[in-house]
């Protein structure tokens, strides 16, 4: 077994969702992620997020901070800054998930740390970035979904704009930040010099507008919300109600449309000139969808899956409980059991990167400051007297 990122040490000044989700991938792949938590603020606010909390911990916090270490350190304290720079000397990256003006204020930029360690990679994931008129403003997933236009695309026509059911801006930006951080580490290996990596929630969300953005920027395209979670241009590609539930059906290739006709036992659709191509089905969307809705209501979801699976891209609209019981998920080993001293055995989902032969880590998220003394002793070689002075000063 091997740890792909063994030997890399990342100092993570982050909280809540986006940053911790990103660094969770590094920790699961074997990097030593030291979570720097402010002792004067009770550490990461995620420790108090309901439901399912105990003093200083929560299931929310556990889901995002598995396999990490926790060190309490006040970065606004002069002694705390000295400890932090000692850590920078023996680390590979500093990752922060703060307002865009805070990395510089707390001494977390490459310019500020280059003299301490010229190879250090300093990655900032903020709401709006480290530049621009809104750099000093706080931002959260929900806010960015509205600002970036996502909510205008989500939900049924005639209803209020809707956010995603998951924190997709946080999670996607967290992964983007990790790609940037790893790219910085590769460059530092090659050149001997680190760098700043600047990622924002807003930039990440805007970048994912992608094909909708190019249509809007270059043609007179005005995105609309479509009924039944339908695709903007490919037909049929949406949710259909069955006799007992809902089914997602996607005909993204002509061969899938032909396979759907066979599954529906509908040669009349094949013969209809309105539905012979992507373009004609798009033009006659309303007529086709009305017809298909009536057909899909005649059988159960299970019956349709038996007819279409492997031929037409399709899936049931599962509840979360049903999704976590899917055979494909279980056989892909996407669930892990982690023993927690207070919560007991916790079943969690893994991160999604799989490498044959890679070690799997199953340590619970740490208690606040659980590793402070060990890091000061084993990593920095501080004496008991030095540690006692730091504690008495309030730096740790």
Residue 3: band (very low, low, confident or very high) from pLDDT cuts 50, 70, 90: confident
pLDDT digits (tens, 9 = 90+) for 66-89: 999 999 999 999 999 999 999 999
Residue 202 lies in a domain: yes
Whole-number Å distance between alpha carbons of 97 and 113: 17
Q: Which residues are catalytic?
A: 170
Tokens 């990596």 belong to residue: 197
**Residue 299 sits in the same domain as residue 261:** yes
Question: For residues 209 and 206, what is the distance between their CA atoms, to the nearest angstrom?
Answer: 5
The C-alpha atoms of residue 181 and residue 355 are separated, in whole angstroms, by 20
Question: In the chain, what percentage of residues exceed pLDDT 70?
Answer: 100
Kindly state whether residue 380 falls inside one of the protein's structural domains.
yes
What is the distance, to the nearest Å, from the Cα of residue 65 to the centroid of all Cα atoms in its chain?
A: 13
Is 30 domain-assigned? Answer: yes
Residue 324 placed within a domain: no
Residue 318 pLDDT level (bands cut at 50, 70, 90) = very high
The last residue of one of the domains, among 289, 317, 345, is: 317
**What domain range includes position 300?**
228-317
pLDDT of residue 49: 97
The pLDDT confidence band at residue 1, using thresholds 50, 70 and 90, is confident
**Pairing of the two strands 32-37 and 121-126:** unpaired
Q: Report residue 78 as tokens.
A: 């002069």
Are both 178 and 250 inside the same structural domain?
no
CATH number of the domain that residue 115 is part of: 3.40.50.10540
Burial 238-258 (b: 16+ CB within 10 A, else e): bebebeeebbbbbbeeeebbe
Q: pLDDT tens digit string along 178-206? A: 999 999 999 999 999 999 999 999 999 99
Residues 109 and 152 both lie in one domain = yes
Residues 305 and 374 in one domain: no
For residue 280, give the CATH number of its domain: 3.30.1540.10
Angle at 208 between CA 202 and CA 212, to 5 degrees: 115
């Amino acid at each position: 077994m091997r740890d792909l990122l063994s030997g890399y040490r990342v100092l993570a000044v982050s909280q809540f969702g986006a940053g911790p989700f990103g660094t969770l991938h590094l920790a699961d792949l074997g990097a030593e992620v030291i979570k720097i938590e402010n002792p004067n603020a009770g550490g990461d606010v995620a420790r108090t997020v309901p439901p399912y909390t105990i003093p200083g911990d929560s299931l929310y916090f556990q889901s995002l901070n598995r396999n990490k270490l926790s060190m309490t350190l006040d970065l606004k304290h002069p002694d705390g800054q000295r400890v932090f720079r000692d850590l920078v000397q023996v680390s590979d990256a500093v990752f922060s998930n703060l307002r865009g003006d805070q990395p510089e204020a707390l001494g977390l930029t490459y310019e500020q740390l280059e003299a301490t360690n010229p190879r250090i990679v300093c990655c900032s994931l903020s709401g709006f970035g480290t530049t621009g008129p809104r750099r000093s403003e706080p931002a959260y997933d929900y806010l960015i979904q509205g600002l970036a236009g996502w909510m205008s695309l989500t939900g049924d026509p005639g209803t209020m704009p809707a956010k995603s059911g998951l924190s997709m801006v946080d999670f996607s930006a967290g992964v983007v930040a990790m790609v940037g951080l790893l790219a910085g580490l590769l460059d530092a290996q090659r050149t001997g010099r680190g760098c700043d990596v600047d990622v924002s929630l807003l930039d990440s969300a805007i970048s994912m507008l992608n094909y909708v953005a190019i249509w809007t920027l270059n043609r007179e395209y005005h995105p609309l919300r479509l009924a039944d979670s339908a695709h903007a241009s490919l037909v049929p590609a949406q949710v259909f109600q069955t006799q007992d539930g809902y089914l997602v059906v996607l005909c993204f290739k002509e061969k899938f449309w032909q396979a759907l006709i066979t599954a529906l036992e509908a040669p009349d659709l094949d013969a209809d000139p309105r539905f012979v191509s992507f373009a004609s089905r798009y033009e006659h969307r309303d007529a086709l969808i009305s017809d298909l809705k009536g057909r899909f209501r005649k059988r159960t979801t299970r019956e349709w899956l038996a007819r279409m699976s492997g031929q037409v891209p399709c899936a049931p609209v599962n509840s979360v409980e049903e999704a976590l019981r899917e055979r494909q998920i279980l056989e892909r080993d996407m669930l892990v059991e982690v023993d927690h001293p207070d919560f007991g055995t916790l079943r969690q989902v893994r991160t999604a990167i799989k490498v044959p032969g890679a070690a799997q880590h199953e340590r619970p998220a740490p208690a606040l400051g659980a590793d402070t003394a060990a890091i000061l002793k084993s990593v920095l070689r501080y004496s008991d007297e030095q540690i006692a002075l730091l504690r008495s000063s309030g730096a740790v």
